Structure 1
Amino acid sequence: MKVFTIALLFIAFNLSAKEERGVVVKILPDPLTLDSSCKAMADLVAQDFSILYACKDSFQRMYFYNFRLNNIDLVADFKKSSTDVVVNKSQFKSYTLYELTAKNPDNKPIKFVSYCTKELCLDLVSDNEYEKSVQDSITSQLRG
Protein backbone atom coordinates (compact mmCIF):
# COMPACT_ATOMS: atom_id res chain seq x y z
CA MET A 1 0.00 0.00 0.00
CA LYS A 2 2.85 2.39 0.87
CA VAL A 3 4.50 1.89 -2.54
CA PHE A 4 1.17 2.57 -4.28
CA THR A 5 0.66 5.77 -2.27
CA ILE A 6 4.17 7.02 -3.02
CA ALA A 7 3.78 6.17 -6.72
CA LEU A 8 0.45 8.02 -6.82
CA LEU A 9 1.95 11.08 -5.11
CA PHE A 10 4.92 11.01 -7.48
CA ILE A 11 2.64 10.86 -10.53
CA ALA A 12 0.46 13.68 -9.20
CA PHE A 13 3.57 15.69 -8.34
CA ASN A 14 5.01 15.33 -11.84
CA LEU A 15 1.69 16.16 -13.46
CA SER A 16 1.63 19.42 -11.51
CA ALA A 17 5.12 20.36 -12.74
CA LYS A 18 5.33 22.00 -16.17
CA GLU A 19 8.02 23.52 -18.35
CA GLU A 20 8.26 27.32 -18.00
CA ARG A 21 11.86 28.59 -18.05
CA GLY A 22 12.47 25.44 -16.05
CA VAL A 23 10.40 23.02 -14.03
CA VAL A 24 7.63 24.51 -11.90
CA VAL A 25 7.26 22.50 -8.69
CA LYS A 26 4.13 22.97 -6.58
CA ILE A 27 4.71 20.97 -3.42
CA LEU A 28 5.59 23.69 -0.89
CA PRO A 29 3.10 26.46 -0.14
CA ASP A 30 4.98 28.53 -2.75
CA PRO A 31 5.61 27.21 -6.27
CA LEU A 32 9.28 27.06 -7.26
CA THR A 33 10.76 27.20 -10.73
CA LEU A 34 13.83 24.96 -10.91
CA ASP A 35 16.44 25.04 -13.64
CA SER A 36 15.56 23.06 -16.76
CA SER A 37 18.63 20.85 -16.14
CA CYS A 38 16.84 19.26 -13.16
CA LYS A 39 15.58 15.68 -13.45
CA ALA A 40 13.01 14.22 -11.04
CA MET A 41 13.61 10.93 -9.27
CA ALA A 42 11.74 9.01 -6.58
CA ASP A 43 12.78 6.08 -4.42
CA LEU A 44 9.64 3.96 -4.11
CA VAL A 45 11.13 1.62 -1.52
CA ALA A 46 12.52 4.26 0.84
CA GLN A 47 11.06 4.46 4.32
CA ASP A 48 10.39 8.18 4.06
CA PHE A 49 8.52 9.87 1.23
CA SER A 50 10.61 12.27 -0.79
CA ILE A 51 11.02 13.49 -4.34
CA LEU A 52 14.51 14.34 -5.48
CA TYR A 53 15.55 16.63 -8.31
CA ALA A 54 19.13 16.19 -9.52
CA CYS A 55 20.47 19.35 -11.19
CA LYS A 56 23.68 20.78 -12.63
CA ASP A 57 24.98 24.31 -12.24
CA SER A 58 26.78 26.24 -14.99
CA PHE A 59 30.06 24.50 -14.00
CA GLN A 60 28.35 21.09 -14.46
CA ARG A 61 28.54 20.37 -10.69
CA MET A 62 25.70 18.27 -9.30
CA TYR A 63 23.35 19.52 -6.60
CA PHE A 64 20.01 18.19 -5.39
CA TYR A 65 16.62 19.47 -4.31
CA ASN A 66 14.96 16.99 -1.96
CA PHE A 67 11.28 17.60 -1.18
CA ARG A 68 10.34 15.50 1.85
CA LEU A 69 7.93 15.23 4.73
CA ASN A 70 9.13 17.07 7.83
CA ASN A 71 9.16 13.97 10.00
CA ILE A 72 12.87 13.37 10.67
CA ASP A 73 15.56 15.36 12.43
CA LEU A 74 18.24 15.78 9.77
CA VAL A 75 20.40 17.87 12.08
CA ALA A 76 20.68 14.93 14.49
CA ASP A 77 21.40 12.58 11.58
CA PHE A 78 24.23 14.83 10.38
CA LYS A 79 25.71 15.01 13.86
CA LYS A 80 25.70 11.19 14.11
CA SER A 81 27.45 10.58 10.80
CA SER A 82 29.58 13.71 10.30
CA THR A 83 32.28 15.65 12.03
CA ASP A 84 32.58 19.39 12.45
CA VAL A 85 28.84 20.04 12.04
CA VAL A 86 27.83 23.71 12.20
CA VAL A 87 24.10 24.53 12.19
CA ASN A 88 22.57 27.96 11.71
CA LYS A 89 18.82 28.02 12.34
CA SER A 90 16.71 31.06 11.46
CA GLN A 91 13.21 32.08 10.49
CA PHE A 92 12.64 33.02 6.85
CA LYS A 93 9.08 34.24 6.35
CA SER A 94 6.87 31.23 7.25
CA TYR A 95 9.79 28.79 6.78
CA THR A 96 12.36 27.60 9.29
CA LEU A 97 15.73 27.78 7.55
CA TYR A 98 18.55 25.41 8.50
CA GLU A 99 22.01 26.00 7.05
CA LEU A 100 24.47 23.21 7.79
CA THR A 101 28.09 22.68 6.97
CA ALA A 102 29.75 19.40 7.84
CA LYS A 103 32.32 16.90 6.68
CA ASN A 104 31.42 13.45 5.43
CA PRO A 105 33.28 10.31 6.62
CA ASP A 106 35.88 10.96 3.87
CA ASN A 107 36.52 14.40 5.41
CA LYS A 108 35.00 16.18 2.39
CA PRO A 109 32.84 19.29 2.98
CA ILE A 110 29.06 19.04 2.74
CA LYS A 111 26.82 22.06 2.29
CA PHE A 112 23.18 21.63 3.22
CA VAL A 113 20.29 24.13 3.32
CA SER A 114 16.77 23.20 4.35
CA TYR A 115 13.58 25.28 4.12
CA CYS A 116 10.88 23.72 6.30
CA THR A 117 7.23 24.29 7.02
CA LYS A 118 5.46 22.30 9.72
CA GLU A 119 4.66 19.54 7.20
CA LEU A 120 7.27 19.71 4.41
CA CYS A 121 10.93 20.49 3.80
CA LEU A 122 12.98 21.41 0.79
CA ASP A 123 16.60 20.35 1.22
CA LEU A 124 19.27 21.80 -1.06
CA VAL A 125 22.26 19.46 -0.91
CA SER A 126 25.64 19.18 -2.60
CA ASP A 127 28.86 17.33 -1.89
CA ASN A 128 30.62 20.18 -3.66
CA GLU A 129 29.95 23.86 -3.82
CA TYR A 130 27.10 25.06 -5.99
CA GLU A 131 26.64 28.56 -7.29
CA LYS A 132 25.19 31.02 -4.78
CA SER A 133 22.55 31.88 -7.38
CA VAL A 134 20.93 28.46 -6.76
CA GLN A 135 20.10 29.29 -3.13
CA ASP A 136 19.32 32.91 -4.04
CA SER A 137 16.78 31.66 -6.58
CA ILE A 138 14.91 29.67 -3.90
CA THR A 139 15.03 32.58 -1.46
CA SER A 140 13.65 35.02 -4.02
CA GLN A 141 10.73 32.73 -4.93
CA LEU A 142 9.48 31.92 -1.42
CA ARG A 143 6.75 34.32 -0.44
CA GLY A 144 5.23 32.43 2.50
Structure 2
Amino acid sequence: MRNVERWVDGEASNPDAVAKHLAACPACRAHERRLRTLRNGVAAVKQPETIGDARFPAFMEGIRERRDRRPRWSLAWKLIPVAAAILIVLGGSLYTYEYLVVPGPPVVESASTEIEDAAVTTYASNSGVTTVWVVSRDNDVW
Protein backbone atom coordinates (compact mmCIF):
# COMPACT_ATOMS: atom_id res chain seq x y z
CA MET A 1 0.00 0.00 0.00
CA ARG A 2 2.87 2.37 0.76
CA ASN A 3 4.21 1.85 -2.74
CA VAL A 4 0.78 2.77 -4.15
CA GLU A 5 0.70 5.94 -2.05
CA ARG A 6 4.21 6.89 -3.23
CA TRP A 7 3.26 6.06 -6.82
CA VAL A 8 0.18 8.37 -6.62
CA ASP A 9 2.42 11.11 -5.22
CA GLY A 10 4.96 10.50 -8.04
CA GLU A 11 7.66 9.38 -5.61
CA ALA A 12 7.77 5.61 -6.26
CA SER A 13 11.29 4.19 -6.70
CA ASN A 14 10.03 1.57 -9.20
CA PRO A 15 6.90 3.00 -10.90
CA ASP A 16 6.71 0.25 -13.56
CA ALA A 17 6.49 -2.50 -10.94
CA VAL A 18 3.75 -0.62 -9.04
CA ALA A 19 1.79 -0.10 -12.28
CA LYS A 20 1.99 -3.86 -13.04
CA HIS A 21 0.82 -4.65 -9.51
CA LEU A 22 -2.13 -2.23 -9.80
CA ALA A 23 -3.19 -3.95 -13.02
CA ALA A 24 -3.36 -7.29 -11.20
CA CYS A 25 -4.64 -6.29 -7.71
CA PRO A 26 -8.22 -4.94 -7.38
CA ALA A 27 -7.74 -3.93 -3.70
CA CYS A 28 -4.71 -1.77 -4.51
CA ARG A 29 -6.53 -0.33 -7.54
CA ALA A 30 -9.45 0.68 -5.27
CA HIS A 31 -6.98 2.20 -2.80
CA GLU A 32 -5.33 4.14 -5.65
CA ARG A 33 -8.75 5.50 -6.76
CA ARG A 34 -9.53 6.62 -3.18
CA LEU A 35 -6.15 8.36 -2.94
CA ARG A 36 -6.71 10.21 -6.23
CA THR A 37 -10.22 11.25 -5.11
CA LEU A 38 -8.79 12.50 -1.83
CA ARG A 39 -6.01 14.41 -3.62
CA ASN A 40 -8.50 16.04 -6.03
CA GLY A 41 -10.78 17.00 -3.12
CA VAL A 42 -7.92 18.57 -1.18
CA ALA A 43 -6.78 20.45 -4.28
CA ALA A 44 -10.32 21.75 -4.80
CA VAL A 45 -10.41 23.30 -1.34
CA LYS A 46 -9.82 27.00 -1.78
CA GLN A 47 -6.75 28.27 -0.05
CA PRO A 48 -7.29 31.29 2.21
CA GLU A 49 -6.70 34.54 0.44
CA THR A 50 -3.78 36.55 1.70
CA ILE A 51 -4.14 40.27 2.13
CA GLY A 52 -1.27 42.36 0.88
CA ASP A 53 0.02 45.49 2.57
CA ALA A 54 -1.73 47.72 0.04
CA ARG A 55 -5.18 46.22 0.75
CA PHE A 56 -4.82 45.78 4.51
CA PRO A 57 -6.09 49.26 5.59
CA ALA A 58 -9.27 48.87 3.49
CA PHE A 59 -9.75 45.38 4.91
CA MET A 60 -9.50 46.62 8.50
CA GLU A 61 -11.84 49.56 7.75
CA GLY A 62 -14.47 47.11 6.51
CA ILE A 63 -14.17 45.13 9.74
CA ARG A 64 -14.52 48.29 11.84
CA GLU A 65 -17.60 49.41 9.89
CA ARG A 66 -19.35 46.07 10.39
CA ARG A 67 -18.37 45.95 14.04
CA ASP A 68 -19.58 49.50 14.77
CA ARG A 69 -22.82 49.16 12.84
CA ARG A 70 -25.60 48.31 15.29
CA PRO A 71 -28.69 46.48 14.10
CA ARG A 72 -31.88 48.53 14.31
CA TRP A 73 -33.70 45.91 16.33
CA SER A 74 -31.16 46.08 19.16
CA LEU A 75 -32.75 49.34 20.36
CA ALA A 76 -36.16 47.67 20.42
CA TRP A 77 -34.82 44.83 22.58
CA LYS A 78 -33.45 47.39 25.02
CA LEU A 79 -36.81 49.19 25.23
CA ILE A 80 -38.85 46.05 25.97
CA PRO A 81 -37.79 45.83 29.66
CA VAL A 82 -38.47 49.55 30.10
CA ALA A 83 -41.96 49.19 28.62
CA ALA A 84 -42.62 46.15 30.81
CA ALA A 85 -41.56 48.07 33.93
CA ILE A 86 -43.84 50.97 33.01
CA LEU A 87 -46.77 48.60 32.49
CA ILE A 88 -46.13 46.94 35.85
CA VAL A 89 -46.02 50.29 37.66
CA LEU A 90 -49.19 51.52 35.93
CA GLY A 91 -51.00 48.26 36.58
CA GLY A 92 -49.98 48.33 40.24
CA SER A 93 -51.11 51.93 40.55
CA LEU A 94 -54.52 51.17 39.07
CA TYR A 95 -54.93 48.15 41.33
CA THR A 96 -53.98 50.20 44.38
CA TYR A 97 -56.34 53.00 43.41
CA GLU A 98 -59.31 50.73 42.66
CA TYR A 99 -59.06 48.13 45.41
CA LEU A 100 -56.89 49.42 48.20
CA VAL A 101 -58.16 52.98 48.60
CA VAL A 102 -59.65 53.35 52.06
CA PRO A 103 -63.05 54.99 51.83
CA GLY A 104 -63.55 58.21 53.74
CA PRO A 105 -65.97 58.52 56.67
CA PRO A 106 -69.67 58.35 55.83
CA VAL A 107 -71.30 61.70 55.20
CA VAL A 108 -74.73 62.40 56.70
CA GLU A 109 -76.88 64.13 54.13
CA SER A 110 -80.24 63.69 55.84
CA ALA A 111 -81.69 61.93 58.88
CA SER A 112 -85.19 60.63 59.56
CA THR A 113 -86.91 57.89 61.56
CA GLU A 114 -89.96 55.67 61.22
CA ILE A 115 -90.54 55.58 64.99
CA GLU A 116 -93.80 57.33 65.92
CA ASP A 117 -93.52 60.43 68.02
CA ALA A 118 -89.70 60.36 67.83
CA ALA A 119 -87.52 63.33 67.00
CA VAL A 120 -84.27 63.29 65.00
CA THR A 121 -81.57 65.81 65.83
CA THR A 122 -78.17 66.20 64.11
CA TYR A 123 -75.05 68.12 65.01
CA ALA A 124 -72.08 68.67 62.68
CA SER A 125 -68.81 69.78 64.25
CA ASN A 126 -66.08 71.84 62.58
CA SER A 127 -63.92 68.71 62.28
CA GLY A 128 -66.48 67.08 59.95
CA VAL A 129 -67.97 64.68 62.52
CA THR A 130 -71.78 64.54 62.46
CA THR A 131 -73.76 63.22 65.42
CA VAL A 132 -77.35 61.98 65.00
CA TRP A 133 -79.78 61.63 67.96
CA VAL A 134 -83.12 59.91 67.90
CA VAL A 135 -85.25 60.84 70.92
CA SER A 136 -88.44 58.86 71.56
CA ARG A 137 -91.59 59.91 73.38
CA ASP A 138 -90.30 58.19 76.54
CA ASN A 139 -87.08 60.26 76.32
CA ASP A 140 -85.01 57.26 75.24
CA VAL A 141 -82.04 58.43 73.23
CA TRP A 142 -80.33 56.38 70.55
Higher strand share: 1
Q: Please tell me the TM-score bracket, short chain as reference.
A: under 0.3
User: Structure 2 length as normaliser, TM-score?
Assistant: 0.20
Higher helix share: 2
Compare CA radii of gyration and give the structure with the larger one. Answer: 2
Higher RCO, 1 or 2 (CA under 8 Å, sep at least 6)? 1
